[in-house]
């Protein structure tokens, strides 16, 4: 990215940030719950990861809509600003019933300047500061939904970028509507029985490596490909996809990413042949955990993980994954994996969480039990509709506070703006996959450890 473009982006931030500070803001055990009951293994063919956002057009509303213009005449309006993202079908507007009351959700941009339009909802991947709806109106909150890492939109990892918003739903536990477990349907997904070791031993005899790497998104800020390339010097790795490929997936259908999704039953059956899966996220951010982590555990493989620095907080027990950063070098990691591959008793200790009572992390159990949204759960909204209701409830509370202040301005203060914080997209500065910055080749295709503004990283690629 050219320096001129960088300055232009932050010039826009300066204008928007003033608006954010001076603008509006609210006053400021079943399958997922516990370990009392054993449940049947999760049916992987049913689960469709929410982050794909592939079926938002038929997403279930959190309440039963009651049509009729006369009923909605005084309700606050929530405007979905991002094109193509409106979690209702059909039409452009929908009445939603939430805990505190009702709102109208809309995607009709013509209502943007209306006094009843109290909040604009943005999808982070699509947000561009240069395309923001200006002038920003003082009575409107801005809400951000961004379940992805900063790789999708690096400006959100900066303080000036995230502070444009009043309410957030991100992967971070610190966001207003946290989504750290967006890829984990529940404990039953983890308890799925693992293939017998004898079956995997047979695949090893047929020439399969102990370690799998499946990746087609190459050269990301986490620098995972350089690490895996170095690891390959010390232990066999079967690498599928476009990054470091040394083997082909067994069928043309699986080789086509348009037809083989991450939870495709045929793909899962193939991946379950491997005892260890390399699970490296595209960016290193607290609480950012994707299917790369949870899918191996679902299949009874051991994730060899690099990603969220806080990942231990979310694991089913304290002995279920191998953390790359616990080893001083790729060679030391390879030696440990080789040891486990040859010692079944030690290997099986990593799968103890699949046994009854094996999920001992109460923080994980409580987080699943008390989250306000679900994955394919008929009793809970998906996180799109859940966040929509969260924003609705905040706007209703803010309206009540404004009315109370107007009725007695000398006694009751007006509502204070609620502003998002950098911790809502908590990502350290990118570092090399191994070794030092000086060891990164000049022609490395994407990785740049770039300028840091304050304590927040700048995620860039050379083709930005």
- What is the mean pLDDT of the segment spanning 1-19? 45
Of residues 273 and 154, more confidence is placed in: 273
Q: How far is CA 437 from CA 223, 250, 428, 442, 458, in A?
A: 11, 37, 15, 10, 16
CA angle 362, 428, 276 (to 5 degrees): 55
Assign 323 a pLDDT band (cuts: 50, 70, 90). very high
Q: Which range scores top for mean pLDDT: 38-47, 137-146, 442-451?
A: 137-146
Q: If DSSP codes are grouped into helix, strand and coil, which group holds residue 411? A: coil
- Alpha carbon 390 to chain centroid distance? 18
Q: What is the pLDDT of residue 260?
A: 66
Q: What is the pLDDT of residue 257?
A: 67
- What whole-number distance in Å separates Cα of residue 318 and Cα of residue 278? 19
Q: Is the confidence at residue 57, as pLDDT, over 90?
A: no
Summarize pLDDT for 17-52 with one digit per residue, the tens.
444 433 443 333 334 444 333 333 334 333 334 433
Average pLDDT over the chain, rounded to an integer: 82
Q: 304 - beta bridge partners?
A: 278, 322
Q: Is the confidence at residue 240, as pLDDT, over 90?
A: yes
**DSSP letters of 286-335?**
TT---HHHHHHHHHTPEEEEES-TTGGGGSSSSSS-EEGGGSSSHHHHHH
**What is the Cβ-side half-sphere exposure of residue 361, based on CA atoms within 13 angstroms?**
20
- What whole-number distance in Å separates Cα of residue 195 and Cα of residue 192? 10
Q: What is the pLDDT of residue 268?
A: 94
Assess contact for 160 and 183: CB atoms under 8 A.
Answer: no
Q: Enter the tokens of residue 301.
A: 């493989």
- What is the mean pLDDT of the segment spanning 381-394? 97
Q: Is the confidence at residue 70, as pLDDT, over 60?
A: no
Element (H, E) at 145: strand 141-146
Give which of 413, 432, 51, 20 is closest to 219, Cα–Cα: 432
Which domains, and CATH codes, for the chain? 3-181+374-428 (no CATH), 187-367 (3.40.50.11660)
Of residues 258 and 320, more confidence is placed in: 320
Q: What is the pLDDT of residue 72?
A: 58
Q: What is the pLDDT of residue 372?
A: 93
Q: How far apart are the first and last CA of the chain?
A: 5
- What whole-number distance in Å separates Cα of residue 92 and Cα of residue 106? 6
H helices of 163-231, where? 187-191, 197-205, 224-231
pTM: predicted TM-score of the whole model, two decimal places: 0.81
Q: What is the pLDDT of residue 255?
A: 84
Q: What is the pLDDT of residue 239?
A: 96
Q: Is the confidence at residue 451, as pLDDT, over 50?
A: no
Q: 322 - beta bridge partners?
A: 304
Q: Is the confidence at residue 117, as pLDDT, over 80?
A: yes
Of residues 68 and 216, more confidence is placed in: 216
Of residues 5 and 74, more confidence is placed in: 74
Summarize pLDDT for 256-301 with one digit per residue, the tens.
766 667 788 999 999 999 999 999 999 999 999 999 999 999 999 9
- What whole-number distance in Å separates Cα of residue 42 and Cα of residue 190? 8
- What whole-number distance in Å separates Cα of residue 11 and Cα of residue 310? 34
Q: Is the confidence at residue 464, as pLDDT, over 50?
A: no
Angle between helices 224-231 and 330-341 (to 10 degrees): 60
Q: Is the confidence at residue 413, as pLDDT, over 60?
A: yes
Give which of 152, 99, 103 is closest to 124, Cα–Cα: 152
**DSSP letters of 264-289?**
-HHHHHHHTT-SEEEEE-SS--TT--
Assign 92 a pLDDT band (cuts: 50, 70, 90). very high
- Which range is least confidently modeled, 16-20, 366-370, 416-420? 16-20
Q: If DSSP codes are grouped into helix, strand and coil, which group holds residue 13? A: helix
Pair type for strands 276-280 and 302-306 = parallel
Q: What is the pLDDT of residue 444?
A: 60
CA angle 60, 142, 180 (to 5 degrees): 55
Q: How far is CA 85 from CA 93, 124, 152, in A?
A: 13, 11, 16
Summarize pLDDT for 194-220 with one digit per residue, the tens.
999 999 999 999 999 999 999 988 888
Of residues 35 and 149, more confidence is placed in: 149
């Amino acid at each position: 990215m050219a320096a001129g473009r960088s300055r232009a982006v932050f010039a826009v931030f300066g204008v928007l940030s003033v608006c954010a500070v001076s603008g509006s803001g609210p006053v400021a055990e079943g399958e997922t719950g516990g370990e009392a009951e054993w449940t049947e293994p999760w049916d992987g063919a049913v689960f469709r990861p929410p982050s794909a956002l592939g079926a938002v057009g038929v997403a279930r509303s959190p309440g039963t809509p009651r049509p009729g213009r006369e009923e909605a005449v005084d309700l606050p309006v929530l405007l979905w600003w991002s094109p193509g993202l409106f979690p209702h079908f059909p039409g452009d507007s929908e009445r939603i019933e939430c805990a505190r009351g009702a709102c109208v959700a809309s995607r009709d941009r013509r209502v943007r300047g209306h006094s009843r339009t109290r909040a604009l909802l943005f999808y982070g991947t699509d947000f561009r500061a240069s395309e923001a709806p200006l002038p920003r109106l003082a009575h409107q909150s801005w809400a951000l939904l961004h379940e992805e890492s900063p790789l999708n939109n690096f400006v959100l990892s900066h303080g000036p970028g995230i502070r444009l918003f009043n309410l957030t739903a991100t992967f971070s536990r610190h966001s207003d509507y946290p989504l750290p477990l967006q890829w984990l349907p529940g404990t039953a997904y983890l308890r799925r029985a693992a293939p017998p070791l004898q079956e995997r031993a047979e695949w090893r005899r047929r020439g399969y490596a102990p370690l799998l790497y499946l990746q087609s998104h190459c050269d990301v800020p986490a620098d995972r490909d350089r690490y895996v390339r170095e690891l390959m010097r010390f232990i066999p790795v079967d690498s599928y996809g476009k990054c470091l490929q040394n083997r082909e997936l067994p069928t043309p259908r699986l080789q086509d990413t348009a037809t083989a999704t991450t939870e495709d039953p045929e793909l899962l059956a193939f991946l379950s042949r491997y005892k260890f899966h390399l699970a490296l996220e595209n960016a290193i951010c607290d609480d950012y955990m994707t299917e790369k982590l949870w899918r191996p555990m679902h299949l009874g493989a051991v994730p060899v993980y690099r990603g969220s620095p806080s990942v231990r907080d979310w694991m089913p027990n304290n002995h279920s994954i191998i953390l790359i950063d616990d080893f001083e070098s790729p060679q030391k990691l390879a030696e440990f994996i080789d040891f486990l591959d040859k010692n079944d008793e030690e290997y099986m200790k990593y799968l103890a969480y699949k046994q009854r009572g094996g999920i001992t992390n109460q923080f994980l159990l409580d987080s699943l039990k008390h989250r306000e949204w679900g994955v394919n759960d008929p009793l809970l909204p998906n996180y799109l509709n859940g966040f929509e209701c969260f924003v609705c409830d905040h706007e209703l509370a803010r309206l009540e506070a404004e009315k109370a202040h107007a009725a007695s301005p000398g006694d009751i203060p007006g509502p204070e703006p609620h502003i998002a914080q950098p911790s809502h997209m908590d990502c350290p500065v990118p570092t090399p996959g191994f070794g030092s910055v000086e060891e990164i080749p000049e022609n490395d295709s994407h990785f740049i450890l770039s300028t840091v503004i304050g304590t927040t990283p700048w995620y860039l690629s050379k083709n930005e």
